[in-house]
């Protein structure tokens, strides 16, 4: 099998290595965290199955909203100088330049941990302490769904009706409407905020 030649973004070999991720890494990193948070929720905070179900739905829906907001307003933010240009390129522009690189389709652990830590702090201000772990557990489940749906849209023939729809939706973002179709795991917020269609990119 021919080795894929990735775009090099760092001269330092160690930094460059951190930008390449095997697709199993997010599972190895986050599944133990999710299991621990669920254990804490049931054992330490005594949540019920009904409460778990409720916050599972809330966590997943909030993830889809967070995914949309980050993709639209952070990863596609207007650049105003070399620093913002570099930021956008590292976080997302590189993926648009080379969308099929199999080592750069899931989030590297270092930025993922930093982003989750920031979001955990933010959500801790809004979600009652009793439910923060179960909320975050399913928020991360939503993130994992996003990561693997994203990987699949670029590297697998998705044969189910939903899979074909999500693949077409995301690839149109890449090749027809870069300023639209920001949802990857769900098109929900594109319909709500009317970003399903957009100007064709030159």
Q: What are phi and psi of 101, to 5 degrees?
A: -65, 115
**Alpha-helix residue ranges (DSSP H) falling in the chain:** 13-18, 25-43, 49-69, 82-88, 94-97, 109-124, 129-155, 161-175, 188-192
Does the residue 4 lie in any domain? no
Residue 164 lies in a domain: no
Q: Residue 50 falls within a domain, yes or no?
A: yes
pLDDT tens digits, residue range 109-165? 888 899 999 999 999 999 999 999 999 999 999 999 999 998 888 887 888 999 898
Could you tell me if 147 and 107 are in contact, meaning their C-beta atoms sit under 8 angstroms apart? yes
> How confident is the model at residue 191, as a pLDDT?
95
Higher per-residue pLDDT: 165 or 57? 57
Q: Is 179 contained in some domain? A: no
Given this model, what pLDDT does residue 1 score?
A: 34
Instruction: Determine, yes or no, domain membership for 192.
Output: no
Residue 183 lies in a domain: no
pLDDT per residue as tens digits for the range 18-54: 777 888 999 999 999 999 999 999 999 999 999 999 9
Q: Please indicate, yes or no, if residue 187 is contained in any of the structural domains.
A: no
Does residue 58 have a pLDDT over 90? yes
Q: What is the total count of domains within the chain?
A: 1
**Residue in 37, 9, 20 with CA at minimum distance from that of residue 139:** 37
Residue 173 banded pLDDT, cuts 50, 70, 90: confident
Give residue 92's pLDDT: 66
Assign 199 to helix, strand or coil: coil
Tell whether 190 is covered by a domain.
no
Cβ atoms of 173 and 181 within 8 Å: the answer is yes
108: containing domain: 23-156
Q: What is residue 158's predicted lDDT score, i.e. its pLDDT?
A: 84
Average pLDDT of every residue of the chain: 86
178-189 residue pLDDT tens:
788 889 999 999
């Amino acid at each position: 099998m021919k080795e894929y030649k990735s775009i090099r973004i760092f001269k330092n070999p160690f930094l460059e290595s951190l930008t390449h991720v095997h697709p199993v890494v997010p599972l190895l990193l986050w599944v133990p965290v999710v299991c621990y948070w669920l254990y804490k929720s049931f054992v330490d905070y005594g949540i019920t199955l009904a409460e778990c179900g409720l916050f599972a739905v809330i966590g997943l829906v909030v993830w889809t909203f967070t995914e949309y907001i980050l993709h639209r307003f952070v990863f596609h933010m207007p650049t105003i100088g070399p620093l913002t240009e570099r930021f956008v390129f590292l976080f997302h522009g590189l993926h648009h330049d080379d969308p099929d690189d199999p080592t750069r389709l899931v989030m590297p652990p270092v930025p993922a941990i930093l982003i989750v830590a920031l979001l955990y702090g933010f959500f801790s201000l809004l979600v009652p302490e009793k439910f923060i772990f179960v909320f975050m557990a399913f928020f991360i489940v939503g993130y994992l769904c996003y990561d693997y749906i994203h990987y699949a849209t670029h590297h697998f023939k998705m044969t189910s009706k939903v899979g074909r729809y999500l693949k077409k939706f995301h690839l149109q973002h890449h090749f027809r409407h870069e300023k639209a179709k920001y949802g990857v795991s769900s098109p929900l917020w594109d319909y709500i905020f009317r970003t399903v269609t957009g100007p064709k990119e030159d």
